[in-house]
Amino acid sequence: MVGRPIVHVVKLSAFDLNHVRALHHLLEEAHVTRAARKLGITPAAASNALHRLRVDFDDPLLVRNGRSLVRTQRAEALRAPAREVMLAAGRLFDQGRPFDPATATWDIYVTTSDRVAELLLPTLDRLLAARAPGALLTLRTQTPDLGAFLREHGGIAIVPDIAKERDLRSQRLFVDDFVCVMRGAHPLATGRMSLKRFTEWEHVLVAPLGQSRRGGIDVLLEKEGFSRRVTRVVTTFSLALPLVLGSDRLVVLPRSFATAHAKTLGLALRPLPVPMLPIEMLLAWHLGNEGDPKHAWVRGLVQDAVRAAGLETA
């Protein structure tokens, strides 16, 4: 019992940053040759590094499964800490040099919905090209585990809410309300929009992960003694548009997205028969990136893009 802490200290003192780099790339790639390319070494050297890591952690880390390697349970548990050490090391060495977005080369990861991407991406792309031509932008519209995405990539998210996780931070970005959308020649395009008329027609529901058959409007309708019939469920706002253009179905969409497509597609936008609270969009990030000058610069860029795109700021 007395000797175990001493052995741990000796191991830790010999575990330099190159070992962490090897661990990170080997676990991320689960492939010795690809990891070697990332590390700038030969596959034989990467294989030797894997052998040393197996001794250090007393675990095989990567095991053969047919022609591929798979991570052990211990390896999966080590992926996030290794990634965090690499991010922290990058920030450590960045502290000594001034950050100049005009000359810097780095990755920017953004996750948001398709409708926010459509609204913001043209402006964001233009500003990024002008201010940081060396940045590589990766944008995702489907992220089931937002906390993991932000922790792993050091990116940002533009979302309506975030999980109550202590290591996530957010600020209000813009607000949006909802409208009922239909084809321009729909019988409901004119006249009074009553609850009875609204619920007489078939509806399209946008459920980002495709796992729901109810939306916020359904709760409000039930309080008034009504229900609607959802006959189509899609995972993106864009997929809802052809389903209302080619039929008499209705769909509830954020006003900004609907307005952007109304003129070109000949859509009619009507107020909802029951008031829905506006949706508040947040800019979210991981606490570990709070003081990163690159990350702070990207957050400011997104705010500039929101203003330039004419979205209502919160």
CATH number, position 207 = 3.40.190.10
Same domain, 160 and 206: no
Same domain, 184 and 255: yes
Tell which of 34, 64, 94 closes a domain: 94
Phi-psi region of 166 (alpha: psi -120 to 50; beta: other; left: phi over 0): alpha
Same domain, 160 and 123: yes
Rounded Cα distance between 196 and 227, Å, is 9
Bridge partners for 111 per DSSP? 140, 157
**DSSP reduced 3-state for 44:** helix
Asked if 280 and 314 count as a contact pair (C-beta separation under 8 A), the reply is yes
Residue ranges of alpha helices (H) inside the chain are 3-14, 17-29, 32-39, 43-57, 73-94, 114-131, 146-153, 195-200, 216-223, 237-245, 255-265, 293-308
Say which range, 109-118, 164-173, 199-208, 274-283, has the weakest mean pLDDT. 164-173
Same domain, 87 and 20: yes
CATH number, position 39 = 1.10.10.10
Rounded Cα distance between 23 and 52, Å, is 10
Those residues whose C-beta lies under 8 Å from the C-beta of residue 48, and which sit 6 or more positions away, are none
Mean pLDDT of the chain: 87
Those residues whose C-beta lies under 8 Å from the C-beta of residue 84, and which sit 6 or more positions away, are 151, 288
Q: Name the burial class of residue 56, with classes exposed (0-12), middle (13-18) and buried (19+) by CB atoms within 10 angstroms of its CB.
A: middle
In a domain, 100, yes or no: no
Same domain, 155 and 304: yes
Is the torsion defined by CA of 207, 208, 211, 216 positive or negative?
A: negative
- The strands making up 202-206's β-sheet, listed across from edge to edge, are 229-234, 202-206, 250-254, 178-183, 267-270
Same domain, 161 and 292: yes
Q: Count of domains in the chain? A: 3
Rounded Cα distance between 9 and 13, Å, is 6
Tell which of 42, 70, 94 closes a domain: 94
Same domain, 90 and 128: no
- pLDDT in the model for residue 32: 92
Query: Residues 66-100: pLDDT tens digits?
Result: 888 999 999 998 888 888 787 777 666 665 567 89
Say which range, 10-14, 47-51, 162-166, has the weakest mean pLDDT. 10-14
Torsion angles phi and psi, residue 224, rounded to 5: -95, 5
Q: Taking each helix axis as running N to C, give the angle between helix 114-131 and helix 293-308, from 0 to 180 degrees, rounded to the nearest 10.
A: 110
In a domain, 237, yes or no: yes
Same domain, 247 and 197: yes
Tell which of 41, 59, 94 closes a domain: 94
In a domain, 205, yes or no: yes
The length of the chain in residues reads 314
- pLDDT in the model for residue 16: 65
Nearest 5°: the CA angle 38, 42, 43 is: 85
In a domain, 99, yes or no: no
pTM of the model: 0.66
Same domain, 248 and 112: no
In a domain, 314, yes or no: no
Same domain, 42 and 157: no
Same domain, 136 and 188: no
- pLDDT in the model for residue 8: 43
**What tokens does 149 get?**
């995405």
Same domain, 201 and 255: yes
Query: Residues 270-300: pLDDT tens digits?
Result: 999 999 999 899 999 988 888 788 899 999 9
In a domain, 304, yes or no: yes
In a domain, 313, yes or no: no
What would the DSSP string read from start to end of 158-204? EES-----TTEEEEEEEEE-EEEEEETT-GGGSS---HHHHHHSEEE
- Structural domain boundaries, residue 111: 107-175+279-308
